[in-house]
Amino acid sequence: MAVPIAVLDCDLLLYGRGHRTLDRFKLEDVTDEYLVSMYGFPRQFIYYLVDLLGASLSRPTQRSRAISPETQILAALGFYTSGSFQTRMGDAIGISQASMSRCVANVTEALVERASQFIHFPEDEAAVQSLKDDFYGLAGMPGVLGVVDCTHVAIKAPNAEDLSYVNRKGLHSLNCLMVCDARGALLSAETHWPGSLPDCTVLQQAALTRQFETELHKDGWLLGDSSFFLRTWLMTPLHIPETPAEYRYNMAHSATHNVIERTFRTIRSRFRCLDGSKGTLQYSPEKSSHIILACCVLHNISLEHGLDMWSLPATGHMEQPEEEYEQMESMDSEACRIRQELLLTHFS
């Protein structure tokens, strides 16, 4: 009597002592169109992930080779891009929803382990200059090393007593601080901040600030909106522009900074688990943070493979909480001097 695969698919097979791989699904048996519709990515991209993550997904510490790396990756991509553990997706690759969840956990951790490999600022002078040139080509803003902003991702309530994740709209979320380059590739991603923290507080406490104040390039700056303080390495718009030069500066700043808003929309459109359309991420803040970071890694890898996706906003239910803040002009005289020199040199 044949035993259904769903019955075989249990903890013993995923984590037990067996070493036989269950080949449930063959990539070569389906079209690229099918793979994109079900898992969000074409065949060659999935093969690349198998090569990249295969050793981690079949390592002895997991005590199992029962579900192949290929199948685990398909399960994770299916969740990231659809936002749910749909039965039809598990059926397509021959695993249960419970095993899909474990596959997502495995792949997520494997991607997080490689975050620094794919999300980082350039280091050599030629790459840094190329970064600045790309930004300058957008709207004439010189010296830009990246644009920075925060975005919220909805999560389930950790517990009734913990209000630190409740944002200004009364929803539980993680406030994620990110920096991107002119084409939308992420240069920094901190995805673990509680949703109650305003953007300026997140930046004050972030590793990004320590990075720029202690070791990073001194001949350029990030662009941030008015929810952040002006710093020597962070140029913000002028609150009340009065001169033509100040108006031109603000216009160039806004046009350049818009890249990160487009990047957020792209990430949410591609990775529907983040856009709220299927509800909140049903994990602890730590696991939710890792899922967001894993999607950020995949976003950068997809750009490396030419899979650009400048798209319309996702139609999700989780909106960016609108910050209510007073205009925060810096008391840093050196930062004010640098911005004024920028105005005089490039916008007068």
pLDDT-above-70 percentage for the chain:
80
Per residue in 49-59, pLDDT tens? 999 999 999 86
Site of tokens 């295969």? 54
Angle at 22 between CA 75 and CA 60, to 5 degrees: 85
CA distance 203 to 318: 22
Task: Identify the weakest region by mean pLDDT among 204-208, 213-217, 234-238.
Answer: 213-217
Say which DSSP state 231 is in: B
- Evaluate if residue 189 carries a pLDDT over 80: yes
Task: Identify the weakest region by mean pLDDT among 13-17, 205-209, 270-274.
Answer: 13-17
- Evaluate if residue 257 carries a pLDDT over 60: yes
- Evaluate if residue 146 carries a pLDDT over 70: yes
Task: Identify the weakest region by mean pLDDT among 200-204, 228-232, 271-275, 322-326.
Answer: 322-326
Residue 28 pLDDT grade (very low, low, confident, very high; cuts 50, 70, 90): confident
Cβ pair 216, 146 in contact under 8 A: no
Identify residue 256 by its one-letter amino acid code: T
Between 265 and 91, name the one with better pLDDT: 265
pLDDT at 22: 44
CA distance 128 to 334: 23
CA distance 344 to 289: 42
Site of tokens 């991702």? 153
Question: Mean of the per-residue pLDDT values for the chain?
Answer: 84
Residue 19 pLDDT grade (very low, low, confident, very high; cuts 50, 70, 90): very low
Site of tokens 């590793």? 207
